[in-house]
């Protein structure tokens, strides 16, 4: 039986599918590969073919246990297949939480860190920066651990390792005491958001906005820590997040696909319907949002200073074309980090993500957006659609060649490769 990802745009027909339960199973799978490629897959939430294989597919659904929790230090170790939504629940039960995370919690821990999954943060970076130790099974079947003190080069590479260096076995995260976030959301003119970008970022721990194409309106989200008490949305949250953001939005996407000319009017309605709201809740329930509508996505990290110009150029591109885009453009920020293949490596970054409904042609929109992002020095999210190759990516990462050299050392026979990795890292 074949495999497909969450969006339905990537498929695979592996010759074998494994469901390991223990580390020894991972070792056996690698040692018995016998020349076949080995590729782990998590929740299938990547839009690229990063998890596709025609060899041995390693599904981690049974390798997803909590290994240890130290509430004193906040160190938490989990098996690689642990879904983020389960991790959040377990952490809250122990009075702990992640400092930052993305808005999707269906991913596995290993898949999220390996592709550079991030949220938005003034000073808190991608999920992989919260990792303090890793255990991997290498191509020769050996089990190694790495951290800032033990094999630091491997640690800097493997936290955003694209699945190219080995099978992740366990991940140790630095958590902190659980906290509440106050979320303030509401529409603002896009021009005001772009003009005041530096002030918005400086004044909020977590800032992001959604711009509705063919309108001049952005939905702004500002999340900051508070002592409490919690004031969850209740029925208002269900109306906004399920009825409007998912149920009604899917209907409007289908309508706009059939009647593209209606898209500007529909987007204007959406911008007004998702009105201002303020609530306080546990951080995971503020960071994440339900994603019921299937879509395709491209996202690039650009130097943060380039963001206003890039968004304005994207706006001009759409205004001058006959494209009609129903999905909002998502914009987030992150500080620089020191991970070799992180899209924020070495520079404060802004993320610009473009989406289309899963059954909609995306080529012209994504091609136009990618030209704008690439011209600004953009780096693609490893799990989201792009056309970059090793040749075009090499100069965008200071440690790119170091990563490739480490890959050559650890997996000379390319046990863990696939066509996507051959394209972005070189064969």
Q: Where are the domains of the chain?
A: 66-177, 180-380
Q: What is the pLDDT of residue 289?
A: 84
Same fold, 66-177 and 180-380: no
Q: Looking at the domain covering 180-380, what would its CATH class be?
A: alpha beta
Q: What is the pLDDT of residue 234?
A: 66
| Interaxial angle between packed helices 263-273 and 249-258, expressed in degrees from 0 to 180 and rounded to the nearest 10 | 170
Q: What is the pLDDT of residue 403?
A: 98
The SS3 assignment for 369 reads helix
DSSP state of 83: B
Phi, psi (rounded to 5 degrees) for 422: -65, -35
Q: What is the pLDDT of residue 12?
A: 96
CATH 3.40.50.720: does it fit domain 66-177? no
Distances (CA, A) of 346 to 116, 235, 349: 14, 43, 9
CA distance 224 to 205: 5
The SS3 assignment for 126 reads coil
Q: What is the pLDDT of residue 235?
A: 57
- The residue whose two tokens read 């597919």 is 57
How does strand 56-59 pair with strand 16-18? Answer: parallel
Beta strands in 81-216 (DSSP E): 96-97, 131-137, 143-147, 167-174, 176-177, 180-189, 206-211
Assess contact for 68 and 91: CB atoms under 8 A.
Answer: no
| Distance, first Cα to last Cα, the chain | 28
pTM: 0.94
In the chain (427 residues long), the average pLDDT of successive 10-residue segments reads 91 97 98 95 96 97 98 98 98 98 95 97 96 98 98 98 98 98 95 97 97 93 95 64 56 69 72 79 92 90 98 97 93 98 98 92 97 98 98 97 98 97 96
Signed CA dihedral, 108, 281, 286, 249: sign only: positive
Distances (CA, A) of 310 to 190, 300, 353: 13, 11, 12
């Amino acid at each position: 039986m074949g495999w497909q990802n969450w969006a339905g745009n990537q498929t695979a027909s592996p010759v074998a599918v494994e469901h390991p339960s223990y580390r020894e199973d991972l070792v056996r799978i690698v040692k018995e590969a016998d020349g076949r490629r080995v590729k782990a897959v998590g929740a299938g939430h990547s839009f690229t073919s990063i998890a596709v294989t025609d060899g041995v597919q390693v599904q981690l659904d049974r390798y997803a246990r909590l290994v240890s929790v130290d509430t004193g230090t906040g160190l938490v170790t989990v098996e690689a297949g642990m879904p983020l939504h389960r991790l959040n629940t377990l952490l809250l039960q122990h009075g702990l939480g992640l400092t930052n995370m993305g808005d999707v919690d269906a991913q596995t821990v290993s898949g999220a860190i390996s592709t550079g999954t991030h949220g938005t943060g003034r000073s808190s970076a991608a999920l992989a920066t919260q990792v303090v130790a890793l255990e991997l099974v290498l191509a020769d079947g050996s089990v190694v651990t790495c951290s800032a003190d033990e094999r630091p080069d491997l640690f800097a590479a493997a936290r955003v390792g694209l699945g190219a260096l080995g099978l992740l076995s366990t991940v140790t995260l630095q958590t902190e005491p659980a906290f509440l976030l106050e979320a303030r959301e509401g529409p603002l003119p896009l021009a005001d958001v772009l003009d005041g970008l530096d002030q918005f970022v400086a004044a909020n721990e977590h800032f992001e906005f959604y711009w509705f194409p063919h309108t001049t309106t952005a939905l702004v989200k500002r999340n900051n820590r508070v002592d409490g008490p919690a004031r969850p949305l209740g029925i208002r949250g269900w109306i906004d997040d399920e009825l409007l953001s998912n149920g009604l939005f899917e209907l409007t996407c289908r309508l706009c696909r059939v009647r593209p000319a209606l898209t500007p009017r529909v987007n204007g309605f959406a911008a007004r319907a998702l009105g201002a709201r303020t609530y306080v809740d546990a951080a995971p329930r503020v960071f994440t949002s339900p994603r019921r509508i299937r879509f395709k996505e491209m996202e690039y990290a650009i130097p943060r200073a380039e963001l206003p110009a890039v968004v304005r150029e994207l706006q001009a591109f759409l205004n001058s074309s006959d494209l009609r885009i129903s999905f909002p453009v998502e914009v987030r920020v992150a500080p620089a980090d020191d991970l070799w293949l992180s899209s924020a490596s070495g520079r404060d970054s802004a993320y610009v993500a473009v989406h289309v409904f899963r059954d909609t042609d995306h080529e012209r929109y994504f091609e136009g957006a990618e030209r704008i992002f690439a011209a600004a020095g953009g780096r693609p999210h490893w799990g989201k659609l792009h056309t970059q190759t090793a040749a075009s990516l090499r100069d965008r990462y200071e440690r790119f060649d170091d990563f490739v050299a480490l890959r050559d050392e650890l997996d000379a026979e390319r046990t863990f490769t696939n066509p996507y990795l051959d394209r972005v890292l070189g064969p």
